[in-house]
Amino acid sequence: MILHVANLGHPVLRRRAEPISEEELKSPRFQAFLDDLVESMRFHDGVGLAAPQVFQSVRAVAVWVPPEMDEEGGGLEAAAYVNPEISLLGDEQELGLEGCLSLKDLRGLVPRHRRIQLRALDRHARPLELKLAGFPARVFQHELDHLDGIVFTDRMEDMSTLVFAAELERYGIPGMEDEEPA
């Protein structure tokens, strides 16, 4: 079932989500929810979707990174991650363009850590541990922020880079235009 996405301003997006017990995770109802979360992410053309974005204040996210969006080429198959946590691997950060299904059509530059380690449970309550870099690391940081009531605009250092997708395509990011060669 395709789930509706909460828009910025709905209180669920600003709450800290609750952990999921192993018993709840294994329930048929929650398994169906995880299927719906992944299906909804794909339907809404997202690479990530957090449970609070679909009005469920629980610690679950769906992520999908196509190989062409992963600098290392592997990508990540569409899957659900339960009770995810990240550890930073090093201090290196990079600025990258982000959007959000809850802030439809807005994009902005957000600093994120380049490398992270993810720990989570899969849908069968098996522990997962992944080391991620680049775009996949960015996606998980963005989605885990949702679990703590944070949206990408909260992380932006320069709000002048906040643009609508259509204007981004037309004009680029303000102040980031390609310079003419001298």
CA 162 to chain centroid, in Å, comes to 17
Nearest to 78 by CA among 123, 114, 111, 117: 123
Catalytic residue ranges: 143
Exposure string for 78-110, b = 16+ CB within 10 A, e = fewer: bebbbbbebeeeeeeeeebbbbbbbbeebbbbb
- How far, in Å, CA of 35 to CA of 49, rounded? 12
- How far, in Å, CA of 129 to CA of 168, rounded? 35
- How far, in Å, CA of 163 to CA of 111, rounded? 16
